[in-house]
Amino acid sequence: MKLAAKFVCLVLALCLKYVTPLDNGVARMPPMGWLAWERFRCVTDCKTFPDDCISEKLFKDMADRMAADGWRDVGYQYINIDDCWMARERDDQGRLYADPERFPSGIQGLANYIHSKGLKLGIYEDYGSLTCGGYPGSQGHEATDAQTFAEWGVDMLKFDGCYSNDSSKAIGYPLMSAALNKTGRPIVYSCSWPAYEGGLPPKVNYTELGEICNLWRNYGDIQDSWDSIIDIIEWWAVNQDVLVSAAGPGRWNDPDMLIVGDYSLSIGQCQAQFGMWAILAAPLFMSNDLRHLEKEKMAILQNQGIIAVSQDKLGVQGKRYVKKNGIQAWSRPLSEGHFAVAILSTRTDGTPTEVTFTLNELNIKQATSYALYDLFEMKTVGKFLNKDLIVTYVNPNGIKMFRASPVSMEIIEEFDVWLNL
Ligand SMILES: *[C@@H]1O[C@H](CO)[C@@H](O)[C@H](O)[C@H]1NC(C)=O
Ligand SMILES: *[C@@H]1O[C@H](CO)[C@@H](O)[C@H](O)[C@H]1NC(C)=O
Ligand SMILES: *[C@@H]1O[C@H](CO)[C@@H](O)[C@H](O)[C@H]1NC(C)=O
């Protein structure tokens, strides 16, 4: 089967793109959910911080909000624990267990609660002697830990890479993949491995990653700042030829969590991160406090037009085609001949910038004409030939996002067409 497919792709001269994705049936679209780390870190002092410490209360609160506030209905599914959930030692059978004071129901109890809300539970471990926060690591315990997670009803594993070296990681990440498979429970497998190796070939083998992991962190941790977002986007753009071919259904590049709703971003910057993560076919894990979220930021994160771009079944990651004077233009191919377009501004000169582009420039030319729909304004802006000059205005540190849908056009004026005027 594999050989036959390889032969077919040889015939079609598509061999360079041929990858057998991890065959565990999950994360066919970029997974969506909530992850504790960026916002809640490793706060374990529940006496001083009863609402914000890493405890079962925090994850139950988030599950309640996910179910009650419409998150689950628009596609957010996973509630994910990060580091610092464990007791400091394994039990006498060598098994991991949660800190009993902070997780009195244990992870299994928490999983039952989360499943009862129609959601899924993710957990965190590390391939090394210790986790980054100094809790017991999985090295030498891969099969036991995979089995423990499966028995608890865990649906996703983020596998970090502190306290291990390059050669042991090259053994450990495939070993855990096989151990998860052996449990028989489909568990989304998120690998931090490439982020520890600089994220690029030849050190990182994206073919292998696609065969053993569902998603992987390529680059450093996101922080609560616009600079961090722009740094990540720039790295994705500069390395897009490597990254775009690595991604596809069941195997995703992960630029890290959404910080929309946290301390640092303006509304425009929130739109920009959310829109760009959809263009990048990125997993959408919010790390914010769903109990205290402004209505406008909630509306951004629940924008169904943007979510449809993220979850498009073609599963092709977008690319940057233009970067000039603090303006960048990206497009992402979608199913049925549609495209998503992002015009991103990192300019700071006060007033909206006039931007002129053609669909041709963004590699959108399969059809001769397209209808453009503004995904944040939620309105149709017009029909355009792929060679038409399109003019739009982008706010400083902001974004414009469009869906371009192929249309037949009887009569079209040959002059420039102005958007949003
Ligand atoms: C385990 O791997 C096999 C072979 O790739 C696959 O068919 C099966 O669905 C996998 N099972 C799980 C639970 O991941
Ligand atoms: C890497 O770690 C493994 C396991 O701890 C150890 O056996 C090995 O010697 C280490 N290799 C290097 C190059 O440090
Ligand atoms: C990368 O991994 C694939 C699949 O495991 C393997 O066939 C290939 O030889 C590896 N490439 C390199 C350069 O090691």
CA of 322 to the centre of ligand 3 (A): 32
Q: Is 108 in the pocket of ligand 3 (CB under 6 A)?
A: no
Proximal ligand: closest to the CA of 203: 3
CA dihedral of residues 357, 360, 361, 362 (deg, nearest 10): 100
**How far apart, in Å, do the first and last CA atoms of the chain sit?**
56
Ligand 3 atom showing the smallest separation from residue 201 Cα? 13
Test site for ligand 2: of 142, 164, 168, 175, most ligand atoms within 8 A of the Cβ: 168
pLDDT by position in tens, the chain (length 421)? 344 444 444 444 444 445 678 999 999 999 999 999 999 999 999 999 999 999 999 999 999 999 999 999 999 999 999 999 999 999 999 999 999 999 999 999 999 999 999 999 999 999 999 999 999 999 999 999 999 999 999 999 999 999 999 999 999 999 999 999 999 999 999 999 999 999 999 999 999 999 999 999 999 999 999 999 999 999 999 999 999 999 999 999 999 999 999 999 999 999 999 999 999 999 999 999 999 999 999 999 999 999 999 999 999 999 999 999 999 999 999 999 999 999 999 999 999 999 999 999 999 999 999 999 999 999 999 999 999 999 999 999 999 999 999 998 654 444 444 443 3
Cα three-residue angle 315-320-326, rounded to 5 degrees:
140
Ligand 2 binding pocket includes 165 (Cβ within 6 Å): yes
Radius of gyration of the chain (CA): 22
Does ligand 3 lie within 6 Å of residue 170's CB atom? no
Residues flanking ligand 1, CB < 6 Å: 23-25, 181, 184-186
Quick one: which ligand is closest to 206's CA? 3
| pTM assigned to the model | 0.94
Q: Which atom of ligand 1 is nearest to the CA of 183?
A: 13
Q: Compute φ and ψ for 348, nearest 5 degrees.
A: -125, 15
* Residues annotated as catalytic (active site), given as ranges: 160, 221
Q: Which atom of ligand 2 is nearest to the CA of 164?
A: 2
